[in-house]
Structure 1
Amino acid sequence: MGTTYSMPRLYSFPIWSTRVFVRDSLKAVFPDLADQIDAKVDPGEYREASKARPLAVAFVTCYGKGTASDLVAQMLVERKSQPSVQRNVAFALFSGAYLGIGQHFVYNVAFTRIFGAGMDLRVGVQKVLADLFCHVPFMYLPLYYMFEDTALGVGNPQSGLQRWWKELPGTMAAYCKIFPMFHLFNFTVTPPELRISLIACVSFVWLVVLSYISHDAVEHPSHQE
């Protein structure tokens, strides 16, 4: 049943979503040709792959996003002549491991068990509040700062926690400008198998901001005095 599952059809989420949009737009314009359009316009297997291998797809998607966002932060925001490979790999690994695999368990497993699988407004608001006041400030960010200090060799988990606490207000202020309304949409509209991928697209900007904020403190400690 379904379409053929093969590696050449495993497009990235942005490409897959664009192909789906084109297919559905053609069907809306030419409803009489819907069957032919379905047969000829193939959006690929990203969604099916995400259902079949959610952890692997989440890791690969977020690893690539983490790599790209840190390179943007280093080359375009910080205007470095030579990017730090160690920093980039560390950032990408954290992105793939936690923002991909970890957040799949948080958003699609834990939140579903706690608040239910419903996609109504009430459940969506509950999940947004849990993310904003519990998950991000007290799980995601502490782990990120501990990992960063340790992976870059500039400190240890304890120093990472100290930086997390010191930078928490500013980091959460930046987070609040991007994510609460987006997550409300994500929890009430987006199918679970596509949530992490949609987060990856939107959070590209957030990761540029986080990469810049956190690494500015590491590389220019006098700025934090």
Structure 2
Amino acid sequence: MLAAKTCSNRSPMEHLWCGYRWSLSRRPLLTKSLTSMVGFVAGDMVAQLSAGARLRLAGARKYDVGRTFRMAVFGGAIAGPLSHVWFQALDKTVLPDIPKHPIAVVIKSAADQLFMAPLGTVLFYTSLRSMESQAHMAMATIKAKLVPTLKINYKFWPLAHIINFAMVPPPLRILYVNCMSILWAVVLSRIAATT
């Protein structure tokens, strides 16, 4: 386990990285949840600001702080904890003695895409509609957006997860996924914002 004092006398970036690893070793669920929250916020901000630049040219809307807040709540309270538990379950059940073997990598990636991708997408749209006080619209949103979202998902996440399961050490998988999730959150945020 990484000791907090080993993080002193380092450059600012090394100190930040060391502090993150220390927090990850001491409070893995909280650290991963906060990392996920930051990833979803960053993704939504990029999505809104890039869309907003185009919209402002057309004289349209302002930045939606509430939308960013909802993305933060989803990332920190649902996506982070769920990913933490899911990756641990995959590591414990899918060829745990040879976790980096190509067969293990393919099985984990396939399981993630067959089970977690649809579940996560349904949770995403249900959560957002509920936080918008429109829980009654969740089923209609899922019917309208599940298939289009999964079609885009299957172009992005399979390769990302093959890299994740083949190369990333288990404690750092959530960080890697959250870096990828910044890009993915941009996609989800844009899809969620369309009516």
Shorter-chain TM range is 0.7 to 0.9
Taking a change above 3 Å as real, the CA distance of residues 144 and 5 of structure 1, as seen in their structure-2 partners, is farther
- Cα offset for 1:175? 1.0
How far residue 76 of structure 1 moved from its aligned partner, in angstroms, is: 1.2
Q: Does 1:98 pair with 2:78?
A: yes
Name stretches of at least 5 consecutive residues in structure 1 with no aligned partner. Answer: 20-40, 218-225
Match of 2:141? 163
Corresponding residue of 2:109: 128
TM-score normalised per structure 1: 0.74
- Give the aligned partner of residue 111 of structure 1: 90
Deviation at 1:111, TM superposition (A): 1.2
Q: In 2 relative to 1, CA 84–187 (structure 1 residues): closer, same or farther, beyond 3 Å?
A: same
Q: Distance in 2 between matches of 1:68 and 1:136?
A: 21
TM-score (norm 2): 0.84
Aligned positions of 1:189-200 closer than 5 A: 189-200=167-178
Letter in 2 for 1:112: D
3-state DSSP of counterpart to 1:44: helix
Pairwise CA distance, 1:180:
0.4
Measured in 2, the distance between the counterparts of 1:124 and 1:86 equals 38
The residue that corresponds to 1:207 in the other structure is: 185
The 3-state SS of whatever aligns with 1:45 is helix
Show the counterpart of 1:87. 67
The Cα of 1:101 is off from its aligned counterpart by 1.4
Q: Which has the larger radius of gyration?
A: 1
C-alpha distance after superposition, 1:174-193 (max 9, x if no partner): 11221101101111211111
Aligned equivalents of 1:8, 1:86: Cα separation in 2: 38
| Matched ranges for 1:5-44 at <5 A | 5=5, 19=14, 44=18
Alpha-carbon separation, structure 2, partners of 1:8 and 1:214:
43
- When structure 1 is superposed on structure 2, of 162-171 and 124-133 the one drifting more is 162-171
* Closer/same/farther in 2, CA of residues 85 and 123 from structure 1, 3 Å limit: same
- Residues in 1 aligned to 2:132 and 2:16: alpha-carbon distance in whole angstroms: 43
Of 94-103 and 207-216, the range deviating more from structure 2:
94-103
Match of 1:184 in 2: 162
The percentage of aligned residue pairs carrying the same residue is 26
Q: 1:51 to 1:4 in 2, by over 3 A?
A: closer
Deviations 1:12-55 (A, max 9, x none): xxx86xx5xxxxxxxxxxxxxxxxxxxxx995232232122111
Structure 1 segments, 4+ long, off by >4 Å, are 5-9
Aligned residues: 186
Cα pair 1:115 1:126 within 8 Å, conserved: yes
CA distance in 2: counterparts of 1:76 and 1:92, whole angstroms: 18
Shift in alpha-carbon separation, 1:42–1:163, aligned structure 2, 3 A: closer
- Structure 2 letter corresponding to 1:170: P
1:135 offset after TM fit, Å? 1.0
Q: CA separation of 1:191/1:43 partners in 2, compared to 1, >3 Å: closer, same or farther? A: same
What amino acid is aligned across from residue 112 of structure 2 in structure 1? Answer: D
- Once the two structures are TM-superposed, the CA of residue 6 in structure 1 deviates from its matched residue by 8.2
| Worse overlay, 71-80 or 127-136 | 71-80
Quick check: 1:4 aligned with 2:4?
yes
Determine the C-alpha separation between the residues in 2 that align with 1:2 and 1:129: 33
